[in-house]
Structure 1
């Protein structure tokens, strides 16, 4: 029994390590001169190739008919959940640091809760403890985001890493000669989370009408490949900018497409099925810790008080929102159980009345 519980834990830790590695490798690829639009385009192409076999072999016989309204919803999913989400994220990452990018990504549950309120997929329930926890958690997340975006504070002197990665050092030095907009970076990463949250709302409705997740993912990545390629061609005119001869560019695009867009989705879907969405989502702050350690050790990234305090507020707000959501689910399950018991008690009474009459 212990082994059964340990497998989802190990799987989610591996997923977060994979996402942290994607952030580091993608940052190095962009530091080498790769356009974030080119990176996103290649990622979707590799993701399409990686997810197509799952859609073809696993859902070939069970896949419902693909209609025009379904294609429209999948298109909206590709625009929000892939194109806008990843373009904003990687352009924001190019103008900030991996630690800031991962910290701001943790605001996703709070933004999703706000959109769910707007589209009436969630209830506020401000009089209950669960509703209060969700509201307070959302406000704390927003406060942490504002602090992390606009205040750095003094440098935290934890020394320098003894790990010497020559390639990363050269890329970091090269990037230091270019100006990064540290206000634009957090704003775009926040916009990326907002687009991702909007995708959750659209995807939830799509799942009820088209229960074929692998096919949906493949079509979504295919559409996003075309969208990203069109925008990327308009931004990056030179053919040399699309070259994958550089090792870090090839590694980062294949890694992001196969590991983070294909393998991670399959593993997370398995964990959601085994342990539920709440269990899967609580591991997201782990990526921030792993990324901060790797950025300090490999990229010589400096840590500041504002980043540390803002990240702590975001994580605290995240767990408050998740705790409130968990409480609501437990209360709903308890009410459903009571209604079922009341119905079972009423049936024998009704039968006795019918016999007596």
Structure 2
């Protein structure tokens, strides 16, 4: 293997969590357009949440059973209740509020407000001491500024439009959504509530992953429990039987893609990244999804783009970079501290062993001298 290939592999290994989380955002971006097309075909969003998580659980379950049958922790009542709560917060509650808010606002507003999750998660993590912030150090200042910039960029994209950029007349795909029943009281309340619930979900994940360190099994459990909870919610909200029928190919493709990619692979990657880097790192990539949605909506879907979206996207990327830089510097600092502590412990052990050997040798010499005298 050449030196260049070795260096490339080392870089990929170092930035593996970053690459995977960026890929997750790309996958979620495509899902957004599939959902928009499915809504136009009359798909019930609460039923969609049920189907996608049920499929996600079915897809992941065989892999979890085979690959983690020896390493999977024993399921207890306490762990099951924690998984039930995690599924309630992160699947049935969050996603149903999130999709319900789409009925009363606009997709651009909802996807922009999702970017506040990273800032909310960071604040909660600091309060719970899951995230350390040293305001006297540049890395701590960078994390704070990055969080504030990401929040400011998200609010800019959501609240400020500015000059409209003409849409592309020759866009490859044109999807025109149904008119929303706008309600700028109920809609934003549901959106903000879903963002807070999402943030709590990421925080609780950090604790659960430590107690149940089997990411595939955890993904299967969350999907299956969340599907049952969401089904109960959908039955209460939607009383018509035909809402459960899949009536078009785009709805089928949307459910298959959401179940396999979004609820299967993406959740597994998030659990893995959560275990490696913590909850704040995972949420830092949400703004990237909004930027990708805006760009693809303009280039592919022919939607109109505003200067506010561009300005907010630039601010979001700047905040994301600062936050990532601060996190990486924190990681390097902790690694150096761990290495220094390990080195000091080894040196201390070496000194103790040397001292013991010296004392033993001295004792043997004294015994030998006494034998000669006698």
Fold match (TM-score > 0.5)? yes
Q: Take 1:192 and 1:77, find their aligned partners in 2: how far apart are those partners?
A: 14
Aligned residues of 2:118 and 2:286 also touching (Cα < 8 A)? no
Higher alpha-carbon Rg: 2
Name the counterpart of 2:136: 127
Q: Distance in 2 between matches of 1:202 and 1:332?
A: 23
The answer on 1:145 being equivalent to 2:147 is no
Q: In the TM superposition, what whole-angstrom CA distance separates every residue of 1:178-205 from its partner, at most 9, and x where no partner exists?
A: 4334675555444333322212221222
Counterpart of 2:73 in structure 1 is: 64
The verdict on how the C-alpha distance between 1:64 and 1:340 changes in structure 2, with shifts beyond 3 A counting, is closer
Instruction: Spell out the pairing of 1:179-218 with structure 2 (5 A cutoff).
Output: 179-181=181-183, 185=187, 188-218=190-220
Q: Partner of 1:163 in structure 2?
A: 171
Answering whether residue 271 of structure 2 is matched by residue 263 of structure 1, we say no
Q: Deviations over 1:45-99 (max 9, x none)?
A: 2112111112222222332210001001101110122122322332334445554
Look up the SS of the partner of 2:133 in the other structure: coil
Q: Distance in 1 between matches of 2:203 and 2:218?
A: 15
Q: Are 1:77 and 2:86 counterparts? A: yes
* Other structure's SS at 1:230 match: helix
| Cα deviation 1:110-154 (Å, max 9, x = unaligned) | 222111122221223222222212222222223233333333233
Question: Does structure 1 residue 50 correspond to structure 2 residue 59?
Answer: yes
Alpha-carbon distance in structure 2 between the residues aligned to 1:311 and 1:184: 26
- More moved, 212-221 vs 27-36: 27-36
**Alpha-carbon distance change, 68 to 199 in structure 1, aligned in 2, over 3 angstroms:** same
Partner of 2:48: 39
Aligned to 1:326: 328
Offset at 1:295?
Answer: 1.6
Distance 1:188 1:307 in 2: 22
CA distance in 1, matches of 2:127, 2:230: 29
2 CA distance for matches of 1:314 and 1:34? 32
- Which TM-score applies when normalising by structure 1? 0.84
Q: 2:289 aligns with which of 287, 290, 296?
A: 287
CA distance in 1, matches of 2:128, 2:90: 17
**Offset at residue 262 of structure 1 (A):** 0.9
1:16 maps to 2:25 = yes
- Give 1:331 deviation, angstroms: 0.9
Structure-2 separation of matches of 1:214 and 1:70: 16
**Aligned position for 2:372:** none
Q: Give the counterpart of 2:312 among 310, 313, 316.
A: 310
Q: Which is further off, 40-49 or 14-23? A: 14-23
Q: Partner of 1:86: helix, strand, or coil?
A: helix
Number of equivalent positions: 349
Q: In structure 2, do the counterparts of structure 1 residues 115 and 124 end up closer, same or farther at CA, with 3 Å as the change threshold?
A: same
Unmatched segments (≥5 aa) in structure 1: none
**TM-score between both structures, scaled by the size of structure 2:** 0.81
Partner of 1:340: 342
Alpha-carbon spacing, 1:51–1:198, altered in 2? closer, same or farther (3 Å): same
Give the gaps of 5 or more residues in structure 2: 363-374
CA RMSD of aligned residues (A): 3.1
